[in-house]
Amino acid sequence: AQSVTQPDIHITVSEGASLELRCNYSYGATPYLFWYVQSPGQGLQLLLKYFSGDTLVQGIKGFEAEFKRSQSSFNLRKPSVHWSDAAEYFCAVGGALMEYGNKLVFGAGTILRVKS
């Protein structure tokens, strides 16, 4: 069965510092991987996605993520965090078009706090 683990419930970083949010997944086939961000009281916005090809993917707002098949990981990174990045971040895994009902499984989320 599909599953996603985000080991860190909360992370606090200083503004301008680098950021890495961890995501580990379990999936029986080639995964489609996503990172979403949710600001307080808002819906989810897609940051980036990985389907195939280059294992380092670039997203919006200066975020990037690296797919490592050997480690079943898809960690999210940003070189310099801004106060506006404070939000909750969700990693999700899904299958190809006809696999597993096309459903996404989400991790529990990581809340990012940015201190000035």
Q: Which of residues 33-62 bind other proteins (CB under 8 A)?
A: 34, 36, 42-46, 49, 51
User: Binding-site residue total for other proteins (CB under 8 A)?
Assistant: 26
Given the complex with other proteins, which of 51 and 83 has the nearer CB atom? Answer: 51
DSSP 2: -
Shortest Cβ distance from residue 107 to other proteins (Å)?
5
DSSP letters for 10-57: EEEEETTS-EEE--EEE-SSPPEEEEEEE-TT--EEEEEEE-SS-SEE
Please say which residue, 13 or 104, places its beta carbon nearer to other proteins: 104
Task: List the one residue out of 5, 38, 11 whose CA is nearest residue 23.
Answer: 5
Given the rule CB under 8 A, which residues bind other proteins? 4, 9, 32, 34, 36, 42-46, 49, 51, 90, 94-97, 101-109
